[in-house]
Amino acid sequence: MKIKPTNVLLLDDDKLILRALSRALKKQLGADNIVALNDPTLLEQYVANASDSFDLFITDFQMPVLDGEQALKIVQKMSPLTTRILMSGDIESLRTRPQNIPANLMIAKPFTIDDLSLIGDIYERSQSTNLSHDQQLQLGFMPYIPLPNIEIINYQKHKKTTGQGKHAQLIKHLDSIVEPEIKDKTLIPQIQRASVELVQILCQLVEQLIYTISACTLNKTVEKYYLLAAKAFVFAQRNNFQIIDCERLLQSVLGLAFNNLIRIYLDELYKNRFDISLYDHFATIWGVNAQILADKKMFISEITDNGLAYIFRAIMLNLGTENENPVSDIINSNESTLDSLKLYSQQSSTSSYIEEEFL
């Protein structure tokens, strides 16, 4: 597994930009072999004749004869395993129409050291998931999916700042939804601590998706999963699970929100579904803890028969069905037990969109 990009192909009609970018990539990312093209018309021929595949392809958007969108499509078709990055001086307008841009990442031009650091972190995280060759090919032909910015990656790496100031209103709103539902107020700080990193990720993802999905839809999705996760935490605690297991359950349920936000985005723009493992691939890039993803897979497994898995599956399989609210009420009731949840689940039939995604 490559932990850094080895072969990099750059395309820009400005030779000064190419020279500066080449030097910066060698210094910041330690790239070994960087090829710089300043004639876009040579791209297709060069990719076809290259002896080695490229790890990264970085292109300018505004170029004569062949623009960045066309260049990206050429590389996507001829070398789908290559990570594709688009540079533009008007990056915000491009993000409002991502369905036309077959890039994996968009960065502003002129680039900064933070931009190069972001490229390195995104590349390293993308290499950490164990995808099959077929999954890698499917990933190469997936449409643009928004990726985290340097602020949240630095927070995840150094824990120096939470960035809550930017998203304080949404975080405060989430807490205000949960508080009336939790009778034991001493559990609220534990819920907040267990969910803080995932909430940060979801807030940042909402900020990225706001270009294409309504704020109301995005916020209601996060609210729904946050409340369900909090209820699951309390239910597990009331049924004598250890606090660490209650936290694992909370994080697994809240982790479903990430997959669902990506699903809503893809449904809205592309009307297409993709392998669920690729959603988890993007969750890894966004910094969702590997243990959360592993727990989610374990809980989903039909051969897993512990209490945490049963609670998780009862919630997951009833999402988007007429049984969603009854299950939510059961886990929220002081009188309910794991047996009562099992009894209801056995008596109810489910046809969940989450079930279609996962099982």
DSSP 289: -
Q: What is the distance, to the nearest Å, from the Cα of residue 332 to the centroid of all Cα atoms in its chain?
A: 29
For the chain, the distance separating the N- and C-terminal CA atoms, rounded to the nearest angstrom, is: 29
When pLDDT is cut at 50, 70 and 90, the band that residue 233 belongs to is: very high
Question: Do 167 and 178 meet the contact criterion of CB atoms below 8 Å apart?
Answer: no
Mean pLDDT across the chain, nearest whole number? 88
Q: Cis link prior to 110 (omega < 30° from 0)? A: yes
**Segment 252-273 mean pLDDT:** 90
Higher pLDDT, 159 or 152: 152
Lowest model confidence (mean pLDDT) among 8-17, 65-74, 173-182, 213-222: 173-182
Q: What is the distance, to the nearest Å, from the Cα of residue 153 to the centroid of all Cα atoms in its chain?
A: 13
Taking 70 as the threshold, does the pLDDT of residue 357 lie above it?
A: no
